[in-house]
């Protein structure tokens, strides 16, 4: 039997073993591979109803998703280095548990192991990774990179996810476009915590040299001790550069040569706004302590360009509401003064006519005495007439009560036709991105090539120095 036939037979036997091991633990493993890591493979799987009823995390999250699909990450103990199995795998599990319940971080539902493999049951993101999304959008619009509006929306979510990790004393140390997934609604999910680490002192330095070369900070490339949070800041700058330009900032995979390129001025081959360039340069500072902290990244001017438009809309809305309230007050005052409805006909007096024309006086009622009859008593002449019924005039309609706080009242659905109102409709989530599995020249994570000959952004493999 040839070597190829032996490998195919072993692969089929291994898949059968994995399927049985997953079924014994309450999961159905499909043959569809959805990701590949340095030491692992990720498959599409399904959680059984019995497993969902016994696992709180699965039940709580899959109930809102209306499906039972999961991602099953399988790590082969024989293929992975011993250091990874004993050190990095436990760090990954700890980091996923520490960052649980954040919408920007992929969720760890369950884990189990056999004699040959580790299994991690993870949240499924159906729309691929950020690298695929950048290449798909670049191909569809005919120019590299995302629009700055879309890049800003995604980058805000990435920054918030990384900030959540840092607040829980977790550094990722392998941030790159391939490790940022997109769900069916277009929201990001930070994943692959294989090189993550836990720390207690923010000023403590680390000495494990890991990550992907294209996204790695220069202090790590120079084999120096480094601060994990500041190294993540550098990777965020590379990610933002790749999002708005469609390419990596430096086309070099050798660490020493890459350091020489980093010392030069950062090139921008495509038009990028000055605010975005400023944010990228402040994240890609050579000195780690000079890089912009995450809290200042969120308040950077490029991250909040819509504030000016929001304030303009707020002023316009308040002005519009004020003018309408003045008109309504005037109308109510007219109705309460003259009992006049909105329209006046040719014979109907208007408010102006009431001002300049005096009302005619009510005619006085005259009483005619009856004729004198002989023999009638004098009391008959002074007989009191029966009182006549008073003719009641129709009451003037009362003006509707207007709350003095109506400026703060939320309009009803019928009042929400004006697009300038501050509260019209609730914001809808963005449309789900198109599938990207039919893209040309796409390389899955783990490829050794950083850039294709056509200049497209390609996957950067994880590297341990």
Q: What percent of the chain has pLDDT over 70?
A: 64
171 and 297 co-located in one domain: yes
Mean pLDDT, rounded, for 144-154: 95
Instruction: Give the total residue count for the chain.
Output: 465
pLDDT band at 335 (very low <50, low <70, confident <90, very high): low
Residue 219's pLDDT is what?
Answer: 95
pLDDT surpassing 90 at residue 379 = no
Residue 463's pLDDT is what?
Answer: 60
Lowest pLDDT segment from 46-60, 70-84, 420-434: 420-434
Residue 279 belongs to domain spanning: 137-307+430-464
User: CA 324 to CA 337: how far, in whole Å?
Assistant: 20
pLDDT surpassing 70 at residue 175 = yes
Residue 290's pLDDT is what?
Answer: 97
- Domain boundary (91, 122, 153) is at 122
144 and 224 co-located in one domain: yes
User: CA 200 to CA 307: how far, in whole Å?
Assistant: 36
279 and 176 co-located in one domain: yes
pLDDT band at 453 (very low <50, low <70, confident <90, very high): low
pLDDT surpassing 70 at residue 129 = yes
pLDDT surpassing 90 at residue 388 = no
56 and 167 co-located in one domain: no
The answer to whether position 319 is within a domain reads: no
Residue 13's pLDDT is what?
Answer: 78
Higher per-residue pLDDT: 415 or 60: 60
Mean pLDDT, rounded, for 124-145: 94
176 and 113 co-located in one domain: no
Pick from 3-7, 78-82, 371-375 the range whose average pLDDT is largest: 78-82
pLDDT surpassing 60 at residue 378 = no
348 to 22, 327, 342, 345, 396: CA distances (angstroms): 86, 21, 11, 5, 16
Q: What percent of the chain has pLDDT over 90?
A: 51
237 and 181 co-located in one domain: yes
172 and 295 co-located in one domain: yes
Higher per-residue pLDDT: 359 or 399: 399
The answer to whether position 49 is within a domain reads: yes
Higher per-residue pLDDT: 342 or 112: 112
59 and 107 co-located in one domain: yes
108 and 178 co-located in one domain: no
User: CA 427 to CA 47: how far, in whole Å?
Assistant: 32
Each residue of 339-367: pLDDT tens digit? Answer: 444 444 444 444 444 444 444 444 454 44
Each residue of 152-168: pLDDT tens digit? Answer: 999 999 999 999 999 99
Lowest pLDDT segment from 79-93, 124-138, 303-317: 303-317
pLDDT surpassing 50 at residue 422 = no
Residue 350's pLDDT is what?
Answer: 47
- Domain boundary (92, 122, 152) is at 122
> Domain count of the chain?
2
The answer to whether position 107 is within a domain reads: yes
Residue 358's pLDDT is what?
Answer: 45
Residue 423's pLDDT is what?
Answer: 42
User: CA 162 to CA 158: how far, in whole Å?
Assistant: 6
pLDDT surpassing 70 at residue 43 = yes
pLDDT band at 38 (very low <50, low <70, confident <90, very high): confident
Residue 63's pLDDT is what?
Answer: 86
pLDDT surpassing 70 at residue 437 = no
Q: Which residues are part of the catalytic machinery?
A: 174
Each residue of 67-76: pLDDT tens digit? Answer: 999 999 999 9
54 and 192 co-located in one domain: no
Higher per-residue pLDDT: 84 or 335: 84
pTM for this entry: 0.67
Each residue of 274-333: pLDDT tens digit? Answer: 999 999 999 999 999 999 999 999 999 999 865 545 554 555 555 556 666 677 777 776
Higher per-residue pLDDT: 415 or 290: 290
Residue 111's pLDDT is what?
Answer: 96
């Amino acid at each position: 039997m040839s070597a190829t036939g032996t490998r195919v037979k072993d692969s089929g036997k291994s898949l059968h073993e994995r399927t049985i091991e997953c079924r014994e633990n309450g999961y159905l493993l499909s043959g569809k591979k959805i990701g590949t890591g340095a030491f692992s493979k990720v498959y599409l799987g399904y959680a059984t109803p019995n497993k969902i009823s016994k696992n709180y995390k699965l039940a709580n999250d899959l109930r809102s998703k209306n499906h039972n699909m999961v991602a099953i990450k399988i790590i082969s103990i024989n293929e992975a280095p011993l250091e990874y199995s004993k050190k990095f795998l436990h760090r990954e599990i700890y980091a996923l548990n520490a960052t649980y319940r954040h919408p920007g971080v992929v969720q760890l539902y369950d884990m189990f192991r056999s004699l040959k493999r580790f299994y991690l049951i993870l949240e499924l993101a159906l729309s691929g990774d950020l690298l695929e999304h950048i290449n798909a959008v670049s191909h569809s619009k005919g120019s590299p990179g995302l629009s700055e509006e879309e890049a800003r929306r995604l980058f805000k979510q990435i920054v918030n996810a990384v900030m959540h990790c840092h607040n829980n004393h977790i550094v990722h140390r392998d941030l790159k476009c391939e490790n940022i997934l997109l769900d069916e609604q277009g929201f990001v999910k930070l994943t692959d915590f294989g090189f993550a680490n836990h720390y207690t002192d923010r000023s403590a330095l680390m000495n494990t040299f890991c990550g992907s070369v294209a996204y790695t900070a220069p202090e790590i490339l120079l084999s120096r001790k480094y601060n994990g949070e500041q190294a993540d800041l550098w990777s965020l700058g590379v990610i933002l550069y790749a999002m708005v330009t469609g390419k990596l900032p430096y086309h070099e995979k050798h660490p020493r040569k890459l350091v020489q390129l980093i010392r030069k001025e950062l090139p921008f081959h495509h038009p990028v706004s000055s605010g975005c360039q400023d944010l990228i340069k402040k994240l890609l500072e050579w000195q780690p302590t000079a890089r912009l902290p995450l809290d200042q990244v969120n308040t950077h001017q490029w991250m909040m360009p819509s504030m000016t438009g929001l304030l303009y809309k707020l002023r316009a809305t308040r002005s519009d509401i004020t003018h309408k309230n003045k008109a309504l007050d005037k109308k109510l005052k007219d109705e309460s003064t003259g009992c006049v409805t909105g329209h006046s006909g040719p014979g109907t007096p208007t408010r102006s006519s009431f001002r300049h024309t005096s009302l005619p006086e009510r005619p006085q009622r005259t009483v005619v005495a009856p004729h004198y009859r002989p023999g009638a008593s004098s009391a008959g002449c002074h007989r009191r007439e029966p009182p006549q019924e008073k003719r009641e005039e129709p009451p003037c309609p009362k003006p509707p009560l207007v709350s003095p706080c109506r400026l703060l009242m939320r309009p009803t659905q019928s009042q929400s036709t004006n697009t300038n109102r501050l509260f019209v409709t609730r914001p809808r989530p963005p449309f789900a991105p198109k599938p990207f599995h039919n893209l040309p020249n796409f390389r899955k994570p783990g490829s050794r090539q950083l850039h294709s000959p056509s200049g497209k952004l390609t996957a950067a493999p994880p590297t341990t120095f």
